[in-house]
Amino acid sequence: MSSQWFNSEGNMKKTTLAAALLGSVMAGCVTINIYFPAAAAEKAADKIIDEIWQLKQGTKPQADQPQGEKK
């Protein structure tokens, strides 16, 4: 092969375009995983279920505590 093939401007543009395309594809394959604590999810589910049962029984659900306070 001649050294002219490696130095030609057309191939340089193709190589740059291919590298940019590959970089874009790789950036598009990023996955973000968000993990929720199981205990917090279970507590929230129990709270929702309790509220639904109270509504079905005709009683009013209890008011929540402000978020800053702990039990």
pLDDT in 10s for each residue of the chain, 71 residues? 455 555 566 688 888 999 999 988 888 777 777 887 889 889 999 999 999 998 888 766 566 655 555 54
The residues spanned by each domain of the chain are: 3-57
- What are the angstrom distances between the C-alpha of 56 and each of 1, 5, 46, 50, 64? 82, 78, 15, 10, 19
Which pLDDT score, from 0 to 100, does residue 24 have? Answer: 86
What whole-number distance in Å separates Cα of residue 62 and Cα of residue 3? 81
Contact 40, 47 (CB under 8 A): no
Which pLDDT score, from 0 to 100, does residue 31 have? Answer: 74
Which pLDDT score, from 0 to 100, does residue 71 have? Answer: 47
